[in-house]
């Protein structure tokens, strides 16, 4: 099953991701939350965890919301 961590999702922003993780506490918090959610979704998709569909939908929606916010921060060069 394919992983969707930010470095694979946005390889062109690899340096910027590292910089913001170091310099921006809000970005770091969102990055960590995204990573935890992505890992949980991967475990569910691989059958390691079983959840109801509504919960999975909620997790995916939250992941996409955080991903959009992180991407916006990367595009806008926020420090």
Q: What's residue 5's pLDDT?
A: 84
Burial classification of residue 6, based on how many CB atoms lie within 10 Å of its CB (0-12 exposed, 13-18 middle, 19 or more buried): buried
Domain ranges of the chain: 15-75
Taking only the tens place, the pLDDT of each residue in 13-24 is: 999 999 999 999
Q: Report pTM.
A: 0.86
The pLDDT score that the predictor gives to residue 72 is 95
pLDDT given for residue 41 in this prediction:
94
Give the residue ranges of the chain where pLDDT is below 50.
none
Burial profile 27-54: b = 16 or more Cβ within 10 angstroms, e = fewer? beebbeebeebbebbbebeeeeeeeeee
Task: Note the helical H segments in the chain.
Answer: 6-9, 14-23, 25-45, 53-75
């Amino acid at each position: 099953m394919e992983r969707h961590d930010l470095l694979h999702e946005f390889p062109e922003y690899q340096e910027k991701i590292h910089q913001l993780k170091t310099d921006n506490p809000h970005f770091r918090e969102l990055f960590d939350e995204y990573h935890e959610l992505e890992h949980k979704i991967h475990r569910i998709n691989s059958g390691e965890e079983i959840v109801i569909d509504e919960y999975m939908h909620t997790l995916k929606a939250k992941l996409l919301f955080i991903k959009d916010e992180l991407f916006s921060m990367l595009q806008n060069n926020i420090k």
